[in-house]
Structure 1
Amino acid sequence: MTELKRYPEYKDSGVEWLSEIPSAWSVCAFGRFARFRNGADYSSVEVADGGYPVYGSGGEFRRASEFLFDGESVLFGRKGTVDRPLHVTGRFWTVDTMYYTEIATRHLVPRFVYYWATQLPYSYWLTSTALPSMTQSDLSAAKIPYISIEDQDAIVAFLDRETAEIDAFIADKEELIGLLAERRAAAVDVLLRQDDGKGIRNMIKLGWAFDFLNGDRGSDYPDRRDFVESGVPVTCSTACVDQLVRTQSFVGPVEVRWHHRWWRYGLGRERSIAATRSGYSIRGWNDTRGCC
């Protein structure tokens, strides 16, 4: 990320969650330069093709034959998901669980408002109901830095540039992860399948690739009083909870994954696969340390 230079002087913003701001800045209520408008039910205007985007908290998800607003706006959640503001432009419709805003662009840059909105501590204002909700009055009273349009544009340009680089990096990594997953699946396929010479690929027998060894319940299997902090991995057959024990069967501490039905001591081998011989036969876990 590009190195940022500090302003010469800072002052207390007077807003608990905003902390200090540059001394030349001031703050004001967001509602001074913005008006909140309610979204509406879209069922009567929904169309299959064409039309205008219908926005919810997750972005566009339907199209409408009419629009509620034409311009640049920041959308805020009213009920449900209230902490995911959206920056939109053009003609659009919003669902009835969201607000859209009419912003006085002579004073506030909508894209600047969006970045500010992503940092709001929404939990501070949430009403104490089963469904989280935000009121227009609370959002209008939220304090926003009030600085020149030029400074807002400069901040927006910087954040757009930096976040675009981060998004591109994330996209590259996700593509790499997808390719590695395909490569992993192909490697497993090559190992576990063979060609019978007639172009037909068959599953091989597990016994060709693995040795099967029995676990040992033992006569002195531990109870909850034996838990310690580290040791040798131990597995069980079903939903696993990490616990640690001492037993006479091992020298030193022994890790156990326990369940109220029964215990199964592991073999202590690295990179092994544990599978049950009775009970929950479809469960198993890799490396004797992670239940899957």
Structure 2
Amino acid sequence: MDVFVCRCLDKAAVIVEEESKTGNYSNPWRLCTVTQVEELKILVRMFPIWATGIVFSAVYAQMSTMFVEQGMMMDTSVGSFTIPAASLSTFDVISVIFWVPVYDKFLVPIARKLTGKERGFSELQRMGIGLFISVLCMSAAAVIEIWRLNLANELGLVDEAVPVPISIFWQVPQYFLLGAAEIFTFIGQLEFFYDQSPDAMRSLCSALSLLTTSLGNYLSSFILTVVTSLTTRGGKDGWIPDNLNKGHLDYFFWLLAGLSFLNMVIYIYCAKIYKSKKAS
């Protein structure tokens, strides 16, 4: 496929008979320079890698949406204090602060010895690790939700929209894993787009990598809308009703974990066939 696309793009730099007769080579819509064609090829090769970041961003969006909904149905009290469910995103920040020095001081030297690369991990490897951690993050959230729903059933709280007596701090692992995934994927993505983009388009490509965040939020909303529409047919409560004790938020988390795993498999394939830009 890549070879076919590249051959098609090569034709943009070929002088046709009509241009040879008229001697007019100034129309950029009919004739491109070899440099322009090669730069476009680089962007085409980068596109699949960029697209896989959208699913990860959809997972990342759960930190401010479904994770908060889940936390509101758990015990948020610590002594006489009540912890807002949304405040647990602090542990994502703590995770980032923790993993940055650990990555630089411990993981990179170990990886450097194993791979022989100055950076330890390549940008593609770093993003792949982040995608794998995102699968673990959603799996952890699903396991906690299964536990919460089982306890709600045992205590007879299924029909009551009240928090289940499980400490909200059991959500910390999923926030911590999400922070680790963020370090590997987002930073690896920025490095990848900066290093691999055409020299004249580095700023644009770096900004393009950030576009995955907004598209990921749209994808998250789309998935939620589809899930709600499909699971509420026939008057059913659905996976995510107003009373989460009657729902199956765990199914939603497993769905995202499955999509993340499929996305990771596609990413691994795209990363293997990706041809790095020659050093300029």
* TM-score calculated relative to the size of structure 2: 0.22
Instruction: Write 1 or 2 for the structure with the bigger share of strand.
Output: 1
Q: Given the two structures, how large is their TM-score scaled by the length of structure 1?
A: 0.22
- Pick the structure with greater CA Rg: 1
Give the structure with the larger helix fraction. Answer: 2
